[in-house]
Amino acid sequence: MKFINIFKVLFVILALSELTGCGTIHAMRNLEEGSGSTFMDMWDKWVKSEGDIAVATTWAVKVKPGVTTEDIENALNTVSADMNIKAVGVLPLSDELQARHPERKEKYLRVYSYCSPETARMMVDFSPAMAAFLPCRIVVAEKEDGLWLYTLNMDMMIKMGKKMPPELKVATMKVRDTIWAMMDKGSKGEF
């Protein structure tokens, strides 16, 4: 742990020494409030995971014991409907793999996709590259210790990017809060 803290200090010193010129300081001024703490949270997860960028850039929630995949799906559908985010697709990967390999037992893996069309349009107008992150996804993955839910860390998307116009910020925070509520309710099977 002491090594990690020393490494963080050295990283900050090195980063600060590289900030002169090339627009880095200007870019940092354009970041949303909370970008520093979000970056450090992601950095800590990246280090703890020994460099797994997917761990650093996602949210993961373990599903409570006894909650079924049907409970999770019902919770996701209920929250998305209640909070007006459109379900736009389901990718039943484990079903497909099981059909391809009936001789083996596949662990559960399903991808649920959601979208707020108005927010998506505003976000892509603001930053066309954001289209690569559409639609929002929640993945239900079975691991050795049970079911888990995964999604993109939306705080990273909102806080570590350049400042958004107020109406876009409100809209993206609503989507962020909806996805988090879906993760929370889904992990508990509450609908």
SS3 assignment, position 10:
helix
pTM of the prediction? 0.82
**For residue 14, what are the contacts with CB-CB under 8 A and spacing of at least 6?**
none
Q: Which amino acid is at 21?
A: G
CATH code of the domain covering residue 183: 3.30.310.70
Bridge partners of 151, per DSSP, are: 59
- Has residue 32 been placed in a domain? no
- Examine residue 23 and state whether it is found in any structural domain, yes or no: no
Q: Considering the domain boundaries, does residue 19 fall inside one? A: no
Q: Which two tokens stand for residue 153?
A: 């860390």
Q: CA-CA distances (angstroms) from residue 114 to 72, 129, 134, 184?
A: 15, 18, 9, 16
What distance in Å separates the CA atoms of residue 183 and residue 60, rounded to the nearest whole number? 8
For residue 12, being part of any structural domain is answered with no
Distances in Å between the alpha carbon of 11 and those of 17, 21, 160? 10, 18, 18
45 located within any domain: no
For the chain, the domain total comes to 1
Residue 10 included in any domain: no
The pLDDT of residue 171 is: 96
In angstroms, the CA 183 to CA 191 distance is: 12
pLDDT at 7: 62
Q: Residue 108 sits in which domain range?
A: 57-188
150 DSSP β-pair partners: 60, 139
From first to last of its 191 residues, what are the pLDDT tens digits of the chain? 555 566 666 566 656 555 555 666 556 666 667 777 888 888 889 899 899 999 999 999 999 999 999 999 999 999 999 999 999 999 999 999 999 999 999 999 999 999 999 999 999 999 999 999 999 999 999 999 999 999 999 998 888 778 899 999 999 999 999 999 999 999 999 98
Does residue 168 lie in a domain region? yes
Is 98 within a domain? yes
